[in-house]
Amino acid sequence: MSEETSSHPNLHGPKARLVQKYFQVQVETASPDEILLLLLDGAVRFAESAVEAIDKKDLEKKNASLLKAQGIVMELSNSLQPEIGEEVFRNLKGLYFFTYQKLVEGNLRDDKDIVGAGLKVLHTLREAWRQAVAAYRQEQAALKNAPEEKAVEGQGICVSG
């Protein structure tokens, strides 16, 4: 596996293959919300790697990392469904578009501050999604563990005359 196909920007060779296999199993067994988090984690990881590469003047690594981050952001944008609600759909589309633009512009200009603007949005989206998933899971667990109300014949309040 070459550096260009590695799932992790800082791993090469046998380690990269192990990480790739790990991510493959993770994706194959993940729920849709976990897949979204994995994608956001990947976009953040690749954008952060690009910032480091800009600092080190490693333009090849910067370009490869940003292309991966851009691809993830584009996929996230393209996978949005209008059924989530018009306002949410429009807002997320706008955030993904802004982020994609910043990643592209930062790549073209070798500017870590521009990449950083897109990275900030990715961090915010990832944290918001983590909180939403955690809240949803708590709610589902509470519903699952809530005692069922059972009507027992002969008990209760009599409202007839």
Q: Decide if 151 is inside a domain.
A: no
Domain that holds residue 90: 33-145
CB-CB contact of 97 with 77 (8 Å): yes
Q: Decide if 57 is inside a domain.
A: yes
Tokens of 139: 């709610």
Q: Decide if 72 is inside a domain.
A: yes
CB-CB contact of 3 with 12 (8 Å): yes
Q: Which residue has the higher pLDDT, 128 or 155?
A: 128
- Residue-wise pLDDT for 96-136, tens only, equals 999 999 999 999 999 999 999 999 999 999 999 999 889 98
The percentage of residues in the chain with a pLDDT greater than 70, rounded to a whole number, is 81
Q: Are residues 84 and 25 both part of a single domain?
A: no
Local confidence band at 3 (pLDDT 50, 70, 90 cut-offs): very low
Q: Are residues 54 and 78 both part of a single domain?
A: yes
How far apart, in whole angstroms, are the C-alpha atoms of residue 139 and residue 81?
Answer: 24
Rounded mean pLDDT, 12-25? 75
CB-CB contact of 42 with 65 (8 Å): no
* Strand blocks (E) in 84-140: none
Q: Decide if 154 is inside a domain.
A: no
Q: What are the backbone dihedrals phi and psi of residue 15, each rounded to the nearest 5 degrees, phi first?
A: -60, -40
Q: Are residues 19 and 54 both part of a single domain?
A: no
Q: Which pLDDT score, from 0 to 100, does residue 14 have?
A: 80
Q: Are residues 84 and 129 both part of a single domain?
A: yes
Q: Are residues 135 and 124 both part of a single domain?
A: yes
Q: Are residues 75 and 105 both part of a single domain?
A: yes
Q: Decide if 152 is inside a domain.
A: no
How many domains does one find in the chain? Answer: 2
Tokens of 10: 């800082």
Local confidence band at 54 (pLDDT 50, 70, 90 cut-offs): very high
Q: Are residues 123 and 95 both part of a single domain?
A: yes
